């Protein structure tokens, strides 16, 4: 069951829901509009050969701060991370992030596949912004970018996101290690694609086997064929250089004047069946 606008207002007043800078004018019948913040994160495509979530290989990203009154130009087919200006959260309800119909109609996705905000998570929510249109879309800070809905849980939770979540301390960052069953962050080393490629090159140089070495990126072979590396010993039987004859230095045979150098056609005898003769028309040579 979702909270109505009246229930959302009462829950904010009681402290069951925290929304910093709560504005009653942004209340919808069963949701609350949130605003876009000033901070964006974009991937560097020229330094990102691939992304491997299983092996914790993620692309480097750079932060972009857009001032009020300015705009971020989101080009077609590009995906970036943005963050809400609103800081919110609750321990009692399940929050879900949804897009705006007016923005969906122009091809702007607000979140890719992560709409759920668990109880105990207080944050400036990350927005996976993607342009599905064929023209650029201007993203302006403090524009209405999404809406929140609040659901009642069937029972109290045994643990909250504050104990199990990986983005409790700081939600404005990229990938971080998961927490274990006791709420402690697992120590896992993340590699950038550049480090992973350098490591694979070092392992390739140490290997003397003639069998081809294939990196653990077979799933991107159809789009990144250069990532498939083969290490084979050179064949000593093959010549180092290929000698090409010098055609210019060759002398041509002398041509006799008035005679053709084309080959003469061969004369072939035609045999007729016995008793058959060749008949010629009158005025032609025969016999």
Q: Give the DSSP H/E element, type plus range, for residue 94.
A: strand 93-98
How is residue 13 written in tokens? 């007043």
Separation CA 38–CA 40 (nearest Å): 7
* Cα of 53 vs its chain's centroid, Å: 12
Q: Is 152 helix (H, G, I), strand (E, B) or coil?
A: strand
Per-residue CA distances from 79 to 1, 112, 126, 277 (Å): 33, 10, 13, 89
- Contact between residue 140 and residue 87 where contact means Cβ atoms under 8 Å apart: no
Neighbours of 187 (CB within 10 A): 6
Separation CA 30–CA 114 (nearest Å): 20
Cβ contacts of 101 within 8 Å, gap of 6 or more: none
What residues are labeled active site? 128
């Amino acid at each position: 069951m979702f909270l109505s606008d009246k229930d959302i207002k009462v829950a904010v007043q009681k402290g069951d829901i925290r929304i910093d800078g709560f504005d009653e004018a942004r209340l919808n019948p069963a949701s609350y509009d949130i605003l876009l913040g000033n901070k964006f994160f974009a991937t560097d495509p020229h330094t990102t050969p691939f992304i491997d979530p299983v092996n914790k290989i993620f692309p480097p990203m750079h932060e972009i701060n857009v001032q009020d009154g300015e705009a971020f130009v989101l080009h077609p087919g590009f995906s970036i991370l943005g963050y809400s200006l609103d800081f919110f959260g609750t321990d009692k309800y399940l929050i879900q992030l949804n897009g705006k119909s007016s923005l969906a109609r122009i091809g702007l996705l607000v979140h890719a596949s992560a709409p759920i905000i668990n109880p105990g998570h207080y944050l400036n929510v990350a927005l996976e912004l993607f342009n599905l249109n064929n023209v650029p879309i201007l993203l302006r800070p403090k524009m209405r970018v999404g809406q929140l809905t609040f659901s009642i849980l069937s029972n109290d939770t045994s643990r909250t996101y504050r104990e199990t979540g990986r983005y409790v301390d700081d939600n404005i960052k990229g990938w971080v290690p998961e927490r274990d069953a006791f709420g402690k962050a697992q120590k896992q080393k993340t590699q950038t694609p550049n480090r992973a490629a350098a490591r694979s090159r070092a392992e390739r140089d140490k290997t003397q086997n003639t069998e081809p070495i294939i990196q653990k990126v077979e799933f991107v072979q159809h789009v990144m064929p250069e990532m498939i590396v083969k290490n084979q010993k050179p064949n000593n039987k093959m010549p180092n250089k290929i000698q090409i004859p010098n055609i210019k230095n060759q002398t041509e045979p002398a041509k006799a004047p008035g005679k053709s150098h084309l080959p003469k056609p061969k004369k072939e005898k035609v045999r007729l069946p016995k008793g058959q003769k060749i008949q010629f028309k009158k005025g032609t040579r025969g016999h």
